[in-house]
Amino acid sequence: MIRTFTLLISFLALVLSNSIMAQQVAPLPIPAPPGLAAKSYLLVDFHTGKVIAEKNADLRLEPASLTKMMTAYIVSFQLTHSDLRPEDLVPVSARAHKAIGSRTFLEPGSQVTVRDLMYGLVVQSGNDASIALAEHVGGSEEGFVTMMNEMAKRLGMKNTNFVNSTGLPSKNHYSTANDMALLAAAVIRDHPSHYRLYSVKEFEYNGIKQKNRNSLLLHDPTVDGIKTGHTEAAGYCLVASAQRGDMRLISVLMGARNEQQRGTESLRALNYGFRFFETVKITEANKKLGDAQVWGGSTDDVAMAVSSEHYLTLQSGQQKALVREFKLNSDLVAPIEAGQQLGVVNFRLNDKVVAELPVVALNPVDEGGFFTRTADSFKRMMK
């Protein structure tokens, strides 16, 4: 009797323990994004473009020196796609030398390499370096601005207009947090070797050493860019990017009240994104996912894959609930060409399709012999 009672108590304790554990692992709801002290802000996943948090992301504001991201992007583009070289010498005009605001302290009439000017532009935010590069690449700063606006259109920046290469105040010089995020993603994606400039903490030119104005480079080792900006009209601005593990986030903050605020608020946004979300790579380019049955072929099946890599932004812990489901064409008959679509693969989360991707053949399958085709034709009819 005592033994039976003891077993009953043990059983009840086990049930209660499991019940408590089940309650403990139940996910808590994600808190709302932090309200940041700025006129406009945006937090986005670099790999997916998923917006995690935003406020007035399409509000047109002066971007100040965030403009220099486009100036540097154009120069990087020309270094990649034209005969422009890092060691090319650029003459410093009187106009560049006299530029107001932040400077690299270029001497008028001197010749400076494109490489040094890029450091002066990105690290020191030098207006003189910006104008010197614009005049060299575009023939004039005005010509370079035409290139900037054309590139903005190509990148899908629908609410941006540049009138100079520096970001100095002008009535018709504006952008948005959304557009700045598009530009930042292009800087990281399209010119990764040049993107390393944005993590350089200081640069010395003409005997004058200046520190990068992005204070987050000193406070968070996962931050590797991108650009600060400040004018009286624009307030304090910062486009920041950080990578932790496989996840990269881009934050854009425009119109903060002071330098410290733009740093702390940007870091709050980044920490929120990394804490409550994760980037999941759901496919790799041309990596075999499985086999699909082929009728009347030289082989009975064909390897299938997705032709490019794809990512999803999920709430932390949701990856375990992600389900993959193939929906293939009902009758796959040889010949099959490499790259031919075989159907789709769906990724479901809580019975909701969160991604639908075409599945293609990794390799060709030739027609089988007469007897194979005849036998498979009979099997298909019976099926």
Nearest-CA neighbor of 262 among 39, 31, 27, 24? 39
Active-site residue, 65 included: yes
The residues near 378 (Cβ < 8 Å, ≥ 6 apart) are none
The residues near 162 (Cβ < 8 Å, ≥ 6 apart) are 67, 70, 145, 148, 149, 152, 173
Active-site residue, 76 included: no
| Separation of alpha carbons 107 and 132, rounded Å | 11
| DSSP secondary structure code for residue 60 in this structure | -
Q: Omega before 226 cis (within 30°)?
A: yes
* 319, burial (CB in 10 Å: exposed 0-12, middle 13-18, buried 19+): middle
> Which of the following is catalytic: 65, 165, 241, 251?
65
The residues near 271 (Cβ < 8 Å, ≥ 6 apart) are none
Nearest-CA neighbor of 96 among 40, 168, 46, 6? 168
> Which of the following is catalytic: 68, 130, 175, 215?
68
Beta-carbon neighbour count of residue 171 at 10 Å? 8
Nearest-CA neighbor of 270 among 298, 300, 250, 295? 250
Nearest-CA neighbor of 133 among 169, 84, 65? 84
> Which of the following is catalytic: 93, 102, 125, 215?
125
Distances 157 to 49, 148, 249, 260 between C-alpha atoms, Å: 14, 11, 19, 28
Active-site residue, 125 included: yes
What number of CA atoms fall less than 13 Å from residue 142's CA on the CB side? 0
Q: Is 279 left (phi over 0), alpha (psi -120 to 50) or beta?
A: beta
Q: Which residues are catalytic?
A: 65, 68, 125
